[in-house]
Structures are given as C-alpha cells and as structure tokens.
A and B are shown apart, each in its own frame.
Chain A
C-alpha cells in the first residue's frame, strides 16, 4: 500500500534542556548528547522530508536552541520550501539568535510557559529565573517580526490561572495561545498523581476558555486541549497513527509519535540506515496501527473510527497493558470506568512532590 505522505516532521534535535519540567513528554530514558545526529545527517533528513512531500518541520527537543547548528538547520529546511516552526522554552534565546533565525527563514515560534506566576512556574520547571527570561523571549520574537504562539501546560496546580494565561498571551502579542492540559506520557505519566486536575477544575476551565474564544475572536486564536482521562471520546492522537506526523529522535530513530517507544515489540527504523520515505511507507512501527484494518472489535463498527482512529496507542498500553486495545478514555471501552476512577483518585491524592525530568543512570 502507498501511504499519503505526512504533513509534518517533528525533529527532536536534542533531549538536552535547561528546564526539568515534571510533565515533559520526552521519554524517561533520554538520549544522551553523545548520540545526537550531526548537522550533515539532519540536513539529509530535511532533504528527504521535503522530497517526500512533508510540508512543515517542527524543530523541538529537549530544547532545540541548545543545538549550535539550529540556525543552519532552519536555513536548510526553509531553503527546501519547508514551513519551519520552532518549539522552545525561550530561556536560551538572545536578540542575536532570534534575528539570525528570522533571517534564516523561521516562520513561527511556539514559546512554552509553565505558569503566569513566576514562582509556581519555576517550581514546575526546576529552573530559577525562567519566567522573566520567557517574557523577554516573547518580546524578542515579536520585535523580530516573527509570529508567536504561547503554550501553557495546565495541571492541578495552575488550572485556576487559565484566565490569566489567556490574558498574558494577549498582552505578549501572541497570534495563538495553547491552553494545553498535561497529556500523561513520559514524565507526565510518571508524575500523574501530582498533576491530574480535579473534575471540578476541568468543569470551571472549559467555559472560561469558550467565553474567551468568543470575546477574543479575531484577536487571538485559542487552542484548548483537555485532560483526556475525563473525555467521552479519545483524541485523534497525532491525527491518526502514521497518517500525518513523523517524529525523528535526537539519535535518528523514527517514531509515529513521541511516546511510541514505550510500546514493546515495535521496530523503529533509524534515518541513518534507511530513507525516510521508505520508513514511512514500509516501516514496521508505522504500518502496525495505520488506518483502520488493525482496529479492535469495539472500534470497527464505530461511526467515529475515521475521526479518532481508535485514539492513542500509548495510552491504551499505559492504562490497559495492550497497545492494540481501544483507547480506554473512550466511553465504549471496558476499561473506561477504571480510568475515571484513576483520574479522580489521582486528583484527590494531593501529592505535590514532583519527580523532575533528568538523565538517569542506566
């Protein structure tokens, strides 16, 4: 079968990051800097991406600005006609770097905040002084004429400040704000009991966002991601497995999503060994859960099967023990009641101790 090409490549240039956010979506086993691909290899990956019809690249990490060759890679991607997004914590940005990135053809910057309250945000990131640096970074980005998205990750400890998050983004001149509840993968899953909001918090948050969307129409775009343990139906994770996105790790491993390595029994090709287009079309990990042939019985007759594509494989694995099960946040899943009990128990747990993201000794 010939798959349509992906729309976007998520290029995780490095897992290094000065921040240690407890909800980081990177895997618990971070790639060491010694294993990172060099500039030439990344350029080849970007060439292959453009040749196969990929339209956008998201330079991410870790913290992508920790790579000395970021400007070079942005210029290379942009030169090949790719629309280039940068996903950054902003704490390493300088006026000079932002100007160089803009000149290199960078199209858009997504700047991540932990909170509107500096002390609480820095508690979550484990990085002192980060909030002020982020505010400065936002000004550098807009002063350079680049379009800005503000991303704020929401959890039990900052859910009450969603209105201030939206106001902050408007004040910073952002084009878009993402009010994104933690998704429970990687470090976020590890810290779930310390992060999960209560149902009441979610019920207060959603109307605030809906009201702001109406009030701020044409002023700022608000993207809202709920904590899906409380949802009725699963998210269309990655827009469907191997339908739209391709993720390349710092060491060159290709993944259908950033958490896919948690799924046992999948073979992930490396871009150093095989061309990107061939991996996309034929690679075992991409083919395994693509489209609808593989869907479990409970999904096969569902009218939503081409909306959510069975939901999230990593979540099915994490919560049911089998990645091929229906995403258990779906109300039709036999595991759904258990997920709700789990979420409410975590939210009520009150645990506040965070396990910060770090390189672990193997």
Chain B
C-alpha cells in the first residue's frame, strides 16, 4: 500500500492474502476476515466480492451483476466502485 489504489473500470480487484471471505456455518452468513477485524458484508457486497477473483475487471463485474440482477449498469457501477474503493482504502482489497 505505498500509494493509494484508485478503483476504475479497468481495475482488476482481488482479495489480498490477508483477507478471507468465507461462509460461516455457525452464523449462516458470509464473513470477511482481516487483521483483527471481522466484517459482515451485506448481500450486495458479497455478490461483488465473490466476483473479485483477480481476473475480472470492474467493468466485467458490473456487467455480470447488471445481467444477473436485471438492473441498470450505471447504478450498479456506482455501488461497486464505492464498495471496492472503501475496501481498498482499508487495505482489504488490491487492484
């Protein structure tokens, strides 16, 4: 994190090694585990994060979400960029 990562359409987001997204059977919920932090991402964030595989661009993730949820891509893009930028600023996402 020597410089701030700015999320753009061509960014390829991925979870770094120290962040783990997993489905917790006890709570019946997705959890994101990070250094001394447990985050409970909401359903939208989970759908975004599951697509952050280090291969798909933000553009591709938005297109995939727009198709799956039958929603306007521009609205989705705003949510996606906001979620990813926030996570990148916390050191929970690389791109």
Interface residues in chain A, defined as those with a beta carbon under 8 Å from any beta carbon in chain B: 4-5, 7-8, 52-53, 55-56, 58, 81, 83, 85, 107-108, 110, 145-147, 149, 173, 175-176, 217-221
Contacts and interface: CB of A to CB of B under 8 A. Distances in A.
Contact of B35 (A7, A52, A173, A176): A176
Contacts of B26: 5, 52-53
A85 B19 CA distance: 12
A7 B38 contact: yes
A221 B26 CA distance: 30
Given A107-B18, A218-B89, A147 B35 contact: yes
Contacts of B17: 107, 145, 147
A176 B91 contact: yes
B50 interface: no
A68 B67 CA distance: 54
B33 to A, nearest CB: 4
Contacts of A149: 35-36
Contact of B36 (A56, A173, A219, A220): A56
B18 A108 contact: yes
B57 to A, nearest CB: 20
A176 B89 CA distance: 11
Interface in B58-95: 88-91
From B2, B17, B18, B26, residue with most partner A Cβ within 10 Å:
B18
A244 to B, nearest CB: 8
Q: Which 4 A-B pairs have the closest CB atoms?
A: A218-B4, A53-B26, A147-B18, A108-B35
Contacts of A52: 26
Nearest to A147: B18
A350 to B, nearest CB: 35
B77 to A, nearest CB: 20
14 contacts: A52-B26, A53-B26, A83-B33, A107-B18, A107-B20, A107-B35, A110-B35, A110-B36, A149-B36, A175-B1, A218-B3, A219-B1, A219-B2, A219-B4
Interface in B34-70: 34-36, 38
A146 B18 CA distance: 8
Nearest to B27: A53
A25 B6 CA distance: 39
A149 B5 CA distance: 19
B9 interface: no
B4 A55 contact: no
Given A108-B34, A147-B17, 20 more contacts: A8-B36, A52-B26, A53-B24, A53-B26, A56-B33, A58-B36, A85-B35, A85-B36, A107-B33, A108-B36, A110-B36, A145-B17, A147-B18, A147-B91, A173-B2, A217-B89, A218-B1, A218-B5, A219-B2, A220-B91
B31 interface: yes
A309 to B, nearest CB: 18
A53 B26 CA distance: 5
Which residue, of A81, A149, A220, A221, has the highest number of chain B Cβ atoms within 10 A?
A221
A58 B88 CA distance: 24
Contacts of B89: 217-218
